[in-house]
Structure 1
Amino acid sequence: MASLRILRNSTLRVSHFLRLNGVVAIPQVTANAVGCRGYKRWMRPYLMELYHRRLQAGPEKERHRSEWSNWNYDAEVYAFGQRLGENFNDDTLRTIFINPSYIEKEEVRRKELGVGDDIIPLNLQDNEQLAHEGKKIASRYVKAFLRFSFPYVFEEGISAVHDFLLTEDILAYTGSQIGIKDLILTAEFPVAQDTLASTFLAVIGGLAKDQGITRAERFVNHFILPHLVGKDISELWYIENPMGLLVSILQAKGLAEPEPRVIRQSASETIMSLYWVAVYSDKKMLGKAPGETAIIAEEMAARDCLKRIMKITDDRAPLLLGPNAEGLRLDYDKANRSIYDILLPQINQRALS
């Protein structure tokens, strides 16, 4: 029991003081009682035990979203179109997410149950045709946009960047980020990469079917082309012999052959050697680059020259994406100049000589 210190004839007026027989008293709490309220000794070892049991059990098995009680497929399919801000037809939207393997699985299950199409027709259509149309639209628009954005890049480079943007990994990643993974009706689980990619292309095809090709191309500009942000075009298109290509380009322009020179070097006798090589033609520097050896620096300098010729250096203007791409006049039939357009005359000239 806490001791009391008696204050007689006190003039203090404190509301929480105890009054005993008209005498003001202040309770003094001992040190052992301070900070003990709410402290539970069992909490720390209990949480540690739960943590170690979770580690022993391993990661939880991946489950489909439909296994949870708060799953409503119809509401999720409708919400998908609303999230994208696109007005899909209800039948088209459902067809987008039906993989051919799901129909095959349902047909096998119906045979096992003895339910034929004459009794209850299946009435399901897969997304294969929509995916085919979506791939054509995406490929056509991507190539036209790249030619418009990089008019000095050779057609081989345009094709390399186009193939990068339409790879299975890029399409599957983009599709999973917009929420199609949980909506796909397919036989396998987890959903395979090729299924994600084909379903994403089916979204493009379904959008073109309901809203028109212009709207589908706008979708491609918003979701596929942004993967080029921060990418070096010259790294997506690997050139086997950059110096040989540079020689052919300069000859086609009537310029002198390139002349590489070491302009700076540091610590050449150590493992931390550094060389700077510049490439000149007609006493004009075309490009420069560093390297661990003079040979590596020469190759990198040749690549830098090609980047400057094709105008894909790091200080180029940003791509026209999103609202900035509205109203672009793209030529879908015009192709950039090919490397063979440069090499073929030189090959014929050597053959005749």
Structure 2
Amino acid sequence: MAAPIGKTCLSCWKLIIRPSSRLLKEFRRTYKVWDEPVSRAFFRRREEAGPEPDRHRSEWINWNYEAEVFAFGKRLGEDFKEETLRRAFTHRSYIEIEEKRRTDLGIDLRAAPLGLTDNEELAEIGEETAERYIKAFLRHSYPRMFEEGICAISDYLTADEMLADIARNIGIADLMLCADFPPEIETLSKTFKAVVGALHEDQGQKKAAAFVRDFVLPQLIGKDINEMWNVVNPMGLLTVVLNNQGQEPPEPRLLWSSASQCMMSLYYVGIYSNKQLIAKAPGETVLIAEEMAARNALKKILGTADYRAPLPLGKMAENLNLDYDKKNISVGDITVDEHKLLHSAETTM
């Protein structure tokens, strides 16, 4: 007699959900009881040992200096001569330490010279090339800005911290030969200038200027250039500028105020000249609002307001007609020679 259908289905279901003895043996064999405590012990020892110390890229087994030097220029889209690029990467401290090591080993340096040249000369060429192009580009982009502001922005772009950061990002830190590791900021900055000088020596001034344009000038994106030049007395400078333009002196007026009797006070001050509102700004006090309004007025006059056009970078800057000998008006010029300033302001405004 056939078994009931319910009992048959129940027996089949038990066979499906109940693991076999073979599966249990496989599970016990693959599960390692010691795995978790050993992993915890390794993790604890790693924490006690601290982080992995910084090691130079050349200490790794897959390092090939000749191939990396060749690939450096290709990654950047530049054609360097290998000899010039090697000289740009060689710092004076590396030559000194190698000469000392050979002397300690008893090797005569005159009989077996090291055959290396440091990057001092290339760094000087690169520094001069970068500064001349940056200032010429800024004068072309901001023709009404004072020369002191142009120099302040140029100093910001050519600071050692800025150039060292650019050098790290394009892989110079792994290729440079120096005594210290990690390399110091001054060493990285000098090596970057030497790379610019090497490109100037191999490809000419135009290619070196394009290299500076593509890697240094983009650091101004998202930055407020007005904060790079610290104007100590904005109202005094605004008075002199308006006077030399033939306008009346600035007249600050309180436009409105809010919550003046509490700690969250707000004052809005406007600056008038020839009965025309030229700038306005808020502030926690009347003096702060007046100073900020004077700074906003200077931004409009000098062409550095927040709504100014973006810098012509990339392909837009390839055909710029830059004058390397021209300089903008200096603050000292407008405070000393009023006739000269009036003529220059009329031609640049």
For the aligned pair, the TM-score class normalised by the smaller chain equals 0.7 to 0.9
Match of 2:16 among 19, 23, 28: 28
Deviation track 1:178-227 (CA, whole Å, cap 9, x = no partner) reads: 00001111111110111100000000000011111100000000001011
> Of 299, 308, 324, which aligns to 1:316?
308
SS at match of 1:86: coil
- Counterpart CA distance in 2 for 1:81 and 1:165 is 23
Gaps of 5+ in 2: 340-349
Residue 276 in 1 paired to residue 268 in 2?
yes
The correspondence for 1:157, drawn from 138, 149, 154, is: 149
Q: Separation in 2 of the partners of 1:63 and 1:53? A: 21
> Aligned residue for 1:181?
173
Q: Determine the C-alpha separation between the residues in 1 that align with 2:150 and 2:91.
A: 31
Amino acid at match of 1:196: L
1:12-23 → structure 2 map (5 Å cutoff): none
Report the CA distance between 1:40 and its aligned residue: 7.2
Q: 1:7 to 1:56 in 2, by over 3 A?
A: farther
CA distance in 2: counterparts of 1:126 and 1:83, whole angstroms? 24
Q: Tell me the amino acid that sits aligned with residue 317 of structure 1.
A: A
Q: Which letter maps to 2:48?
A: Q
Aligned residue in 2 for 1:248? 240
Question: Aligned partners of 1:71 and 1:26: how far apart in 2?
Answer: 61
Match of residue 317 from structure 2: 325
Q: 1:288 to 1:43 in 2, by over 3 A?
A: farther
| Structure 1 segments unaligned to the other structure (5+ residues) | 1-5, 13-22, 348-353
Cα deviation for residue 25 of structure 1 reads 8.2
Q: CA separation in 2, counterparts of 1:25 and 1:346?
A: 104
Residue 62 of structure 2: aligned partner: 70
Residue 342 of structure 2 corresponds to which residue in structure 1?
Answer: none
Q: What do the CA deviations read for 1:126-151 (whole angstroms, capped 9, x no partner)? A: 11100000001001100000000000
TM-score, normalised to structure 2, is 0.88
Whether the 8 Å CA contact 1:153–1:336 is kept in 2: the answer is yes
Letter in 2 for 1:134: G
Which of 194, 219, 226 pairs up with 1:202?
Answer: 194
Change (3 A) 1:343 1:191: same
What's the CA shift for 1:257? 1.2
For residue 15 of structure 1, what is the aligned residue in structure 2? none
**Deviation at residue 249 of structure 1 after TM alignment:** 0.8
Answer yes or no: is the 8 Å Cα contact 2:267–2:282 preserved in 1. yes
Q: Tell me how large the CA RMSD over aligned residues is.
A: 2.8
Counterpart for residue 121 of structure 2: 129
- 1:293-339, CA deviations, whole angstroms, 9 ceiling, x for partnerless residues? 11111101100000010111111111111111111110000111111
How far apart, CA to CA, are the structure 1 residues paired with 2:249 and 2:38?
A: 77
Q: C-alpha displacement at 1:117, in angstroms?
A: 2.8
Which residue pairs with 1:192 in the alignment?
A: 184
Q: Which amino acid aligns with 1:182?
A: D
Distance 2:34 2:123 in 1: 58
State the Cα distance separating 1:345 from its structure 2 match. Answer: 3.3
Change (3 A) 1:271 1:69: same
Between the aligned partners of 1:138 and 1:248, the Cα distance in structure 2 is 33
* Equivalent residue in structure 2 for 1:54, among 46, 54, 77: 46
Matched with 2:346 is none
Q: Is it true that 1:297 corresponds to 2:289 in the alignment?
A: yes
Please identify which structure carries the higher helix content.
2
Q: Are 1:98 and 2:90 counterparts?
A: yes
Structure 2 letter corresponding to 1:216 = A
Q: Give, in whole Å, the separation in 2 of the partners of 1:230 and 1:25.
A: 68
Q: What is the CA deviation profile of residues 137-182 of structure 1, one whole-angstrom value per residue up to 9, with x for unaligned ones? A: 0011000000000001011100111111110001111111100001
Instruction: Return closer, same or farther for 1:28/1:225 CA change in 2, 3 Å cut-off.
Output: same
Aligned residues: 332
Partner of 1:115: 107
Matched residue, 1:217: 209
Amino acid at match of 2:134: V
CA distance, structure 2, for counterparts of residue 161 and residue 44 of structure 1? 58
Check if 1:334 corresponds to 2:322.
no
